[in-house]
Amino acid sequence: MPSTANDAKGLLLAAIADPNPVLILDHRLNFKNKGCVPEAMYTVPIGKGVVRRGGKDVSLITISHMVHEACRAAESLAKEGIEAEVLDLRSLRPLDEELVLQSVAKTGRAVIADCGWKTSGITAELAALLAEKGFASLKAPVQRVACPDIPTPAGYTLEAAFYPGAEDIRTAALTACGRATQ
């Protein structure tokens, strides 16, 4: 589930070279993004996430389109003195558990953001991972930002209200940091 044009090409080439079946899911909201893509052949390792922005106060764990929203939220949080680390998982299975656990061990707080539904989605899976393997590192409950458990609307105005964004992530991060606004 790439978030950048560079990763889209690199993950696609890695998927072609992989002897196992691989599904690539590309969020349609990423189609408007532009980025530099080398002409040369290269691969991005499947199952290895990346830190898109370093931070020490809260981990924003994301994938695909939500990486961009998390980066925008991190910029806003920085103005309030909160350094948010943005993780781009790039792959759901295999999942880079080590990256997630290391980040949360450093920050003590986690906000998991995804464009999928909240129930039975990747936010639930990552929250379970943190409960099972990273609970001792948590200073606050895990916050999840996801779509409501209703059918996805097809109209632009309804979609704008349906999909979570940077402000939802920012609010969740403030809550995780004990600075929730009323």
pLDDT at 60 over 70: yes
Summarize pLDDT for 99-116 with one digit per residue, the tens: 999 999 999 999 999 999
Mean predicted lDDT score pLDDT of the chain: 93
Q: Per-residue DSSP letters for 37-67?
A: --SS-----TT--EEEE--SSEEEEE-TTHH
Tell me if residue 162 falls in helix, strand or coil: helix
- Of 74, 32, 31, which is closest to residue 52 (Cα–Cα)? 74
* Torsion-angle region of 120 (φ positive above 0: left; ψ -120 to 50: alpha; else: beta): left
Please give the CATH number for the structural domain made up of 50-176: 3.40.50.920
149-156 CB contacts, 8 Å cutoff, 24+ apart: 149/117, 149/118, 149/119
Q: Would you state the pLDDT for residue 142?
A: 98
DSSP assigned state of 112: E
Q: Would you state the pLDDT for residue 77?
A: 98
Please tell me the total number of residues recorded for the chain in this structure: 182
Q: Would you state the pLDDT for residue 36?
A: 84
For range 33-59, the mean pLDDT: 94
The domain segmentation of the chain, as residue ranges, is: 50-176
Model pTM?
0.93
- The residue type found at 123 is T
If pLDDT is split at 50, 70 and 90, which confidence band does 180 have?
A: confident
Summarize pLDDT for 110-162 with one digit per residue, the tens: 999 999 999 999 999 999 999 999 999 999 999 999 999 999 888 888 888 89
